[in-house]
Chains A and B, each alone.
Chain A
Amino acid sequence: MISPQELQHKILDEARDLLNADQFKESSARLEYLLKRDDLSPEVRANADIMAIEIRAKRELRIVELKEQAESLFRQRKWEEARRNLLEALTLDPRDHDARKVLMTVDAEQENDRREKTIRQTKVDLHELNDIQKLGEAVREAEDLVARGQADDELIHLLRTARQKWSDLRSEHGIVTTKGRLASLTDRAETVKQLESLIMNNQLIVWDATLDAYRNTADVLQDARRSWEERSQSAASEILEFIMGDLPPRLDLARARLEESLKHPFSEQQRILLKTRLDEIQRMVESRNRAEELVEQARKQDNPLAALSLLREAHSIWSHLEGLERRIAEQQELAAAYFLSATNTTAKDLAIFIQTITDSNLRAKVAYQKGTELIEQNRWDEGITLLEESLAVYRQNDDLKSHADTIYQIARAHHLLSNFEEARTRYRDALRLYEHLRNSNGIAACNVGLGRLNVQTGDPFRALRELNAARQIYLEINDEQHLKDVEEVIHLIDRVTEAQAA
């Protein structure tokens, strides 16, 4: 445990250390503590008294030193440092009037200096005629200086010019931002270019009249671009919508409209879209022109098949030519008639030709006529092939009369080929349809076919039943020629039957 004497020595040592570090106040506080004690040893008291005198002397010396330094700094116009020294000196001795007086002089000089600097800077800023924000701030600062009576003539002159320029800029940029939002496609495109130019000229702030505020030029540019794109898109849609409505007959108009549109400042994306569409329409125009040429060639062509081929080619290139499909149909009729009239056509050629007829009804009709004709020429298998071709079409549509006629002809062909079973089934198929249609001639023809077939297969009774049914119909419809034919067969059967019975 430390003794009171040892503690007194320790405090005294601390006071010494603090004095050596120029911490006069802290050092004095420790000495004061010691000197108030009753148990203070005489040795410590003597040392403390001596140290108190040392402190006082050293503090005064320090104050003189600080004031001298402050004077020097004042001369160098280093206001802040001079002020700091004077304040330290006043801390060591608050009653030092010299230091206080000098401190007031420093403050006044410092204020003068700041005002001059402001005026200088304001004059400089008033020259920033393209930077709307800097110019605006400079104008406000200058007006403040004028109000406080601190402005000189030069500043007043500069303020007058700058104020006009600032007003112009506000007006100009305000119009730009408004146009960028609301104006025509051209104006919006120009706004974007203008804003880009401002950025290139380092004009980073613009006055936004709509928002009544300064804004970052890049942000305004972004808004303007978006606005331009929106206007471009709506305008392009309008044009494309106009073009797409019933395009084929208005190809030329569409092309002209697109070419005209592309003179307007569309955004890049819409420009590409419109250009692509224009290219497409250009190709369509070329196709149409080519198709028209082919149609013209077909018109001059003597060979109906060659003409048909040209028309089909034209159709494959451009199917929208007015009246082309009707012309093809007519030409098909002509080509079909040409084929039907040709006697030396092979069944293979016919089959190929028939397959090329796109109109299924015409295909069926030609196949039927030519098939029937081939059968008359004893070209049964070829005839049957064409008739089956025709039948395939009639199975898919509702033309029951033609359907029945085709089956009847097939039955007849098989009958002639002595394919009796096949013929019988086909006659019955035809008969069913004729009965459904109440077609007397067809019914009678099938009855006759079945009758004759029964004769050939050795069944005279069934033959008579069929033939008599036919006879009855021919009587009813007064078809004398057919009636005569059928009665002849009936008579023949009767005679044979009688002979056999005898």
Chain B
Amino acid sequence: MNETDRLWSQLSDIFSKWGLSEIPFSESASSLRQTQLREVFTGRTQELREVFNLLRGRERKRIFVYGWVGIGKSAFILEVLSALRRNTKDTLATYISLPPETDLATAALIALAREMPDDEWAQHQLNQMGLRPQKRPVKKRGKAKAGISDTGFEIEEETVPVSSPKFPALSFEDLLARAYQKYKRVVIAIDDLDKHNPARVREMLRNAQGMLKGEAWFMLTGHPSGLTRDIVTRELGLFDLALELKSLDQPTTQQMLLNYLNSARLPKAKRVIDHPKAFAPFTPETARILCERSDGVPRWLNRLGSYILLKAAELHADVITPDVLQQGLDYANQQLRGQTGLTVEDHFVLNLVMEKGTLSDETATLNDLERLKVKEFSEVMPILEKLVQLDLLRRLPSEHAAEYTPSPLVANMPPPTS
């Protein structure tokens, strides 16, 4: 056995001792398979009920799901769509994360076409946009072969040139009409609006009002700030339900941690929450601290959990004691601050927030801003939002200000005590 094999074997031994087949945590719900998502999705009972109530009705609805980065918006709508697929035969449920530089109609068209693999026109639309269709469109062309009497036709494939749809809203309407020939209900879920330039999204929403008020059901996701808050507050009549996903409470967070750990255990080894080693390799105490540190945000639970397990494996720790947990948290802090793509300006802003504890457009002084070489809070906002996306900062759920504070993943919290 060479050194590499030995290392691999050591790691396998650790995971085997922990009763896990792999690191179960995942930063994004969209990277999970449907079965995995079902296993780990936890809580949100009330919110699901509200959505399902709407979905029970005949009249098409537009649902806006909003919440902070990592709160589980994608997981929530994927779970809703999954439930629809499992429980209703006449519903076509589609999902797309809004691609860059794409308007809502084109995104909806792509999402719908992808779920209609047998529809030649739908696949043709995808091919035209340069996207790989489920079934490649082929053109049949007659081709006689002289001298061989029993040869009829040959099939030739032709490459169709790539081009964006000229009228995406109309193309979508056409495709939707075709979908309604087979289904009673079509749900289009467009995720991650908040990851785009707010001004552009605002314009896109305005342009897409006709489509959104059309024949399909829509589910959109976004942050509870800025643009999306305005959408909710403004009461444009665009959405029938604006559903805010808030942080999970501690029992639910612990259940989620258990679900994640169980998803990497053999069926017979899965544990219930009352089991003395339910959270192994975490102790009940370190599991509790992890959940508290995650502050009810699934993404933070996943990121921290992942870093802690990696550190524990490196330390060959059979059990994640408070000491191992602290080392894992330090490791997470170190990894997050050392992420690639952080500029000098990003570090300046991060340091200022770390120093002040909270940076808000309401309380920031001109002196604070001048330290960042700007005179307006608006100029710093894009950096603050970037740092939120990188889990270095969190935006506080204030309705009165844009307030940012270090995320629990990097905040200088006291070491966990027993």
Binding site for B on A (CB under 8 A): 381, 395, 400, 403, 407, 418-422, 424-426, 428-429, 432-433, 435-436, 456-459, 462
Contact = CB atoms under 8 A, between A and B. Distances in A.
A287 to B, nearest CB: 42
A419 B227 contact: yes
Contacts of B362: 428
A403 B375 contact: yes
Interface string B160-198: 000000000000000000000000000000000000001
A424 B402 CA distance: 9
B365 A421 contact: no
Contact of B226 (A422, A429, A433): A422
Contacts of B230: 418-422
Given A420-B229, A459-B400, A425 B366 contact: no
Contacts of B226: 421-422
Interface of B: 198, 202-203, 225-227, 229-230, 233-234, 361-362, 364-366, 369, 374-379, 381, 399-402
Contacts of A426: 376, 378
Contacts of B225: 421
Given A418-B230, A420-B230, A421-B230, A429 B399 contact: no
Contacts of A395: 374-376, 379
Contacts of B198: 422
A458 B369 CA distance: 29
B306 to A, nearest CB: 33
Contacts of B400: 459, 462
B233 to A, nearest CB: 6
Contacts of A400: 375
B377 A419 contact: no
A156 B12 CA distance: 130
A428 B361 CA distance: 7
Nearest to B235: A418
Main DSSP-derived SS at the B contact region = helix
Contacts of B399: 457, 459
A457 B381 contact: no
9 contacts: A421-B227, A421-B229, A422-B198, A424-B361, A426-B378, A432-B369, A433-B375, A459-B400, A462-B400
A429 B233 contact: no
B229 A432 contact: no
Contacts of A456: 233
A418 B231 CA distance: 9
B227 to A, nearest CB: 7
A429 B378 contact: yes
A193 B400 CA distance: 95
A425 B361 contact: yes
B65 to A, nearest CB: 18
B402 A432 contact: no
Contacts of A428: 361-362, 377
Contacts of B227: 419, 421
Given A422-B226, A432-B369, 17 more contacts: A381-B203, A395-B374, A395-B375, A420-B229, A420-B230, A421-B226, A421-B227, A421-B402, A422-B198, A432-B364, A433-B375, A435-B366, A436-B366, A456-B233, A457-B399, A458-B233, A462-B400
Contacts of B378: 407, 425-426, 429
A175 B203 CA distance: 94
Contacts of A458: 233
A441 to B, nearest CB: 19
Q: Which among B366, B376, B379 has the highest number of chain A CB atoms within 10 Å?
A: B376
A380 to B, nearest CB: 11
Closest 9 CB pairs of A and B: A429-B376, A418-B234, A425-B361, A421-B226, A428-B361, A432-B366, A436-B366, A420-B230, A419-B230
Contact of B233 (A381, A407, A425, A457): A457
A457 B398 CA distance: 13
A439 B308 CA distance: 53
B345 to A, nearest CB: 15
Contact of B402 (A407, A425, A436): A425
Q: Which among A420, A422, A457 has the highest number of chain B CB atoms within 10 Å?
A: A422
B399 to A, nearest CB: 7
A274 to B, nearest CB: 53
A136 to B, nearest CB: 87
Contacts of A420: 229-230, 233-234
A141 to B, nearest CB: 95
Contact of B376 (A407, A422, A462): A407
A400 to B, nearest CB: 8
A159 B50 CA distance: 140
B368 to A, nearest CB: 10
A433 B364 CA distance: 12
A421 B202 CA distance: 13
A407 B374 CA distance: 14
Contacts of A435: 366
B376 A419 contact: no
Nearest to B226: A421
B378 to A, nearest CB: 6
Contacts of A418: 230, 233-234
Nearest to B376: A429
A151 to B, nearest CB: 104
Contacts of A436: 366
A381 B200 CA distance: 11
Nearest to B229: A421
A419 B205 CA distance: 13
Contacts of A457: 233, 399
Contacts of A403: 375
Nearest to A385: B199
Given A418-B234, A419-B202, A425-B381, A433 B402 contact: no
B366 A433 contact: yes
A400 B375 CA distance: 9
Contacts of B202: 419
Nearest to A391: B376
A395 B373 CA distance: 10
A407 B402 CA distance: 17
A433 B3 CA distance: 64
Q: Which among B369, B378, B381 has the highest number of chain A CB atoms within 10 Å?
A: B378
Contacts of A407: 376, 378
Contacts of B365: 432
B58 to A, nearest CB: 31
B200 to A, nearest CB: 12
A363 to B, nearest CB: 19
A379 to B, nearest CB: 14
B199 to A, nearest CB: 8
A307 to B, nearest CB: 37
A428 B376 CA distance: 9
Nearest to B400: A462
Contacts of A381: 203
B253 to A, nearest CB: 29
Contacts of B402: 421, 425
A459 B229 CA distance: 15
A425 B361 CA distance: 6
Contacts of A425: 361, 377-378, 381, 402
A407 to B, nearest CB: 6
